[in-house]
Amino acid sequence: MRVIVTLSFVMLSVFVKADSYLDSLFAKGNTFYQQEQYAQAIESYTQILDSNHISFELFYNLGNSYFQFGKIPKSILFYEKALLIDNSNASCLNNLELARKRIDKIEPIPRLFYVNWWNYFSSLLSFNGWSILLVIAVWKSCILLVFFSRNRKKWIFNSMITTIGFCLLFIFAMLSSNERESQVSAIVMTNSEIYSDTSFINKVGFVKAGNKAIVKDIVSDAALVHLEDGQIAFINISEISLIQ
């Protein structure tokens, strides 16, 4: 028993020392940032990142530091990473928009109003949220079906049809949400050429650093990406950084 207590105390001491060390690095990074020593701030924050510690504050501070240091693509990358943890943070959203104004942004293809409406609607809940609503709607439709089989009233039938319609709506919203949550995005880190295949011979265009792309597939050292202007092409994997 004494051995177990001793080992537990040693392990707890290790964790406390590790947390204390990371806190000191974070404080040091903040001090460097306030003194406008952005390179040193980045170095301190990166040491925390290298210890596999992640947090909204860490990504957000790295984004701010890279922005002030003039590394705009890097700042966009870390703002995007921060938003994966807290996608409603107003300061981060505002800073991301400021950073995007500093790059040659790809002009996105215009979308029809109903596509924008559907994207907004399906993003209101996560995949799990839509799944819960679907289960509730299915159970309600089953209960209404039982009632209708015993008492064939018009209002019961209409309620059942409406509920089935909601079931279909929730299914499509769930699928859209799942597709959005499972997609992997990346930031183009350097001005890069894009190609029609993995041989990197047939160039089809050019994309400026800082732009966002959806990664559809990775083949060896090539990534198949979908750009905001609708282009689908291959880019060297070393020229992008995944947002994850």
Q: What local confidence, expressed as pLDDT, does residue 3 receive?
A: 45
What are the tokens at 9?
């105390």
How many CB atoms within 10 Å of residue 51?
A: 12
Domain end call among 67, 100, 133: 100
**pLDDT exceeds cutoff 60 at 16:** no
Q: What local confidence, expressed as pLDDT, does residue 108 receive?
A: 76
Domain that holds residue 220: 184-243
The enclosing domain of 71 has a CATH number of 1.25.40.10
Reported confidence tier of residue 187, pLDDT bands at 50, 70, 90: very high
Q: Give tens-digit pLDDT for 46-73.
A: 999 998 888 999 999 999 999 999 999 9
Q: What local confidence, expressed as pLDDT, does residue 23 receive?
A: 84
Domain end call among 100, 125, 143: 100
Task: Read off the pTM.
Answer: 0.79
**pLDDT exceeds cutoff 80 at 110:** no
Strands (E), the chain: 184-188, 192-195, 203-207, 212-219, 222-227, 232-236, 240-243
For residue 108, tell me if it sits in a domain: no
Q: What local confidence, expressed as pLDDT, does residue 4 receive?
A: 47
Do 85 and 43 belong together in one domain? yes
For residue 238, tell me if it sits in a domain: yes
For residue 105, tell me if it sits in a domain: no
Number of domains observed in the structure of the chain = 3
Do 88 and 124 belong together in one domain? no
Query: Across the chain, what does the average pLDDT equal?
Result: 88
For residue 58, tell me if it sits in a domain: yes
Do 171 and 188 belong together in one domain? no
Domain end call among 69, 100, 131: 100
